[in-house]
Amino acid sequence: MKEKTLFRSFVGDYPTTRILEFLIEGRAFDYTLTDISEGSEVSWRTLNRIWPNFIKNKIVIITRTIGRINLYKLNHENPAVKKLIELFDSILMSDLKNIITKNKAAC
């Protein structure tokens, strides 16, 4: 298991948070449910319990279908998703600024 990330430290380490973090980090790509389960370190069973809410709330969209497999991507048109991405990016930028400031002070 990975160590707790900045995002999860800030909003909490829950399966939904892990899935969101995975999708936000890879926002340019589309994924199968297996990819999402493995990448977010959320069990298949838990993902299948949570996933209908992601679809219902239009957090994700189907980008394409290969055979019987759907590929999903974060829905960048959803206002809530835009805010989540903004929060994610601001947390990372804040930490990056702190690291730069510490490095400058150390020099």
The answer for residues whose C-beta is within 8 angstroms of residue 47's C-beta and 6 or more apart is 15, 19, 33, 36, 37, 40
User: Is the Cα torsion angle 8, 10, 14, 17 positive or negative in sign?
Assistant: negative
Tokens of 55: 């679809």
Cβ-based neighbour number of residue 9 at 10 Å: 12
Q: State percent of the chain over pLDDT 90.
A: 74
pTM (predicted TM-score): 0.86
CB neighbours of residue 10 within 10 Å: 15
CATH number of this structure's domain 6-106: 1.10.10.10
Q: Identify the pLDDT of residue 93.
A: 84
What span, in angstroms and rounded, lies between the C-alpha atoms of 10 and 4? Answer: 10
Domain boundaries, the chain: 6-106
pLDDT tens per residue across span 26-78: 999 999 999 999 999 999 999 999 999 999 999 999 999 999 999 999 999 99
What is the rounded end-to-end Cα distance, in angstroms, of the chain? 35
- Determine the 3-state secondary structure of 70 from DSSP: strand
Distance separating alpha carbons of residues 31 and 62, to the nearest angstrom: 9
What's the confidence (pLDDT) of residue 5? 86
